[in-house]
A and B are shown apart, each in its own frame.
Chain A
Amino acid sequence: MALPLVLKTETFSLLGPMTLKAVDGEEFVRHGWPPGRSVLLLDAVPEDQRSSLLQVPWGAVMSSKPSEVSTAAPVLRHPDPHQGVRPGDIIEVNPDRPMLRVLYRRGDNGNVIFATERCNSFCLMCSQPPREEADEWRVRQNIELVDLIDRDEPSLAITGGEPTLLGEGLVDIIRACGRALPDTDLQVLSNGRGFADSDLALRVRAVSHPKLQWNIPLYADVSAIHDYVVQSASAFDQTIRGLYKLAEAGQRIEIRVVLHRPTVARLAGLARFIYRNLSFVRHVALMGIEPIGFARANHAALWIDPVDYQGELSEAVTFLHGNGIPVSLYNLPLCVLRQDLRAFAARSISNWKNVYLPACGACSLQKRCAGFFASIDKKWTSHGVTAVVSEGEAP
């Protein structure tokens, strides 16, 4: 089970919010993160070396016995569980709160750069309901964060909220990623509307990030359904024009479709629409719904058991695949998928919120199955969930 991302702590002589790389002696020696932007995990340092290592001007020091630490730096109480902060992680602390937030977990497959709480859509199934906030500080914090992320991090996502609402701030973050992490795949989760009537796509192009991809949701081939799903008039029109602007600017694009009652209805039509009008997209991801946020409130409007849309799903997948558009299925357990669709399924759920059900214990496919979101409950569980005990399955 994944470690929590918010942990209890206590801060001493911390003057303002800080973003800090967690290091022990070995991490400092090997990677040399700037000490002023690091927090020394004192418990991990052998006792006879502590006083020497405390001479380094750390940004902060973390210890389970803060009162015994003699240092000029701010001191943080090491949270329980003790493994909650490990060398390589990045934490945020604030003197106003007895909590620390883990912004980056070394080795996790779901690390994100959270761009903003604001959004210009209001999707029925939003897993991260938007909130108005002044978010300029997030740009600065995220750029600081990027500097401290492991250089060998395979992939990161910029998410929100709607990242393009940061405007030039988003461009700055992408630029920072390109400089500090040129080998890291960077995916931005955006509704694409912000590109329609601006030159944002050209400004992103100017950054020349080598491994950037835009993941843009499209929910139908007609505006009525798409605008209904995102609860915003003209959204379909803006997203389509935004997609063309991005394509024109040479950007790599993935289309994302969350599968629920309103989108399943015209799924095959959407697949044809993508092939005819958006043939430049690199990939189409058809995704199971995450039962959290607004989705929970809209269960009646959204829920359709995945076993009941296998026909539509198969038609869309077969069409896209057959026409050379790479397609994947995210967030859907293998047992509810028709045999011919299982090859398209990916283990897509971030570690920290990925669970399996009791039935999965006996399943021969569990190792390559996406499993479920931790927020799942009975109302959101397919009737098709069952242990697959099979011989004929290709691994």
Chain B
Amino acid sequence: MSSSLKQQLQRLAGLLIPTMLTALPSQASAMAVAGAAADLGLDGIDPLILQDPLNQDSQNLFAGHRSHSSHRSHSSHRSHSSSRGGGYSYSPPPPPPPPEPVIEPVPAAPASSFYSAPQTPAATALPKASAPARTPVVRKPETAPRNPPKQPEELQLLIMRVQAALLRLGYDPGAIDGSMTSATSTALWAFQTDKGLDATGTMTTETLNALGVKL
């Protein structure tokens, strides 16, 4: 082996060493996040066409959310067993965590087949784990995997989207600030009434569908 090549390899190796410093979230907790985020389901939808029902496969953990002034420490946003108002849109609890994915050696294609877009053997298909947009990335050791996902932030974002949707449709949700204010709740109620939906003043799944908000 030439010495220059050796140097090159050593440089390469040097690049690879930081691996060990990188905190890997365990497979298990990654799966847990995937399970908890079960189908934020942002896939396969033409952004321009409103498909109905929009959130058929999603769980709406926000349906029971009513108007109040503060959003800190609302652990109850997560509690699907709670019977707070809006239990109407209650969906079943998350499915059990999927089995460990396995990559199988790929069999040679049959002689007659033309190549087409790479196919994944069924065994390798990972469950749909649409990670939340800010999935922690391994680089920073201080970023612990979020388990469960931070609800208050997600709730705030969802309320903002609902407020923006109401605004677009001519209802007045008040400020677009991510707070379920009485103005927002009233606008929701008015929207639901106009659409013939259950008038709850909350973000039920059918209301989100009608507003074009994808969970």
Contact = CB atoms under 8 A, between A and B. Distances in A.
A127 B108 CA distance: 31
A324 B125 contact: no
Contacts of A197: 9, 12
B120 A210 contact: yes
A78 interface: no
A53 B176 contact: yes
B76 interface: no
Interface centre among B18, B42, B117 (most CB of A within 10 A): B42
A262 B108 CA distance: 29
Contact of B47 (A30, A165, A175, A180): A30
Interface residues of B, number: 62
Nearest to B129: A182
Contacts, number: 170
Interface centre among B18, B42, B118 (most CB of A within 10 A): B118
Contact of A55 (B15, B135, B138, B177): B177
A25 interface: yes
Task: Classify the secondary structure of B's interface with A.
Answer: loop
B124 interface: yes
A192 interface: no
Contacts of B9: 197
A203 B19 contact: yes
Contacts of B109: 282, 324-326
A172 interface: yes
B197 interface: no
B32 interface: no
Contact of A152 (B2, B43, B134): B43
B18 A205 contact: no
A140 interface: yes
Contact of A52 (B13, B19, B167): B167
Contacts of A323: 111
B190 interface: no
A190 B78 CA distance: 44
B118 A185 contact: yes
Given A172-B138, A178-B126, A327-B115, A28 B105 contact: no
Contacts of B138: 172, 175
Contacts of A328: 115
Interface in B97-124: 101, 103-106, 108-111, 113-115, 117-118, 120, 124
Given A211-B118, A328-B115, 20 more contacts: A26-B212, A29-B165, A29-B211, A29-B213, A32-B158, A35-B157, A52-B176, A55-B177, A120-B8, A147-B133, A147-B134, A165-B15, A167-B12, A168-B18, A179-B129, A182-B128, A208-B126, A210-B126, A324-B111, A327-B115
28 contacts: A26-B212, A28-B160, A28-B161, A29-B165, A31-B47, A32-B161, A52-B175, A106-B47, A150-B47, A151-B42, A152-B42, A152-B45, A155-B117, A167-B15, A167-B19, A172-B22, A180-B130, A183-B128, A185-B118, A198-B13, A208-B101, A250-B105, A279-B108, A282-B115, A323-B111, A324-B111, A343-B114, A344-B114
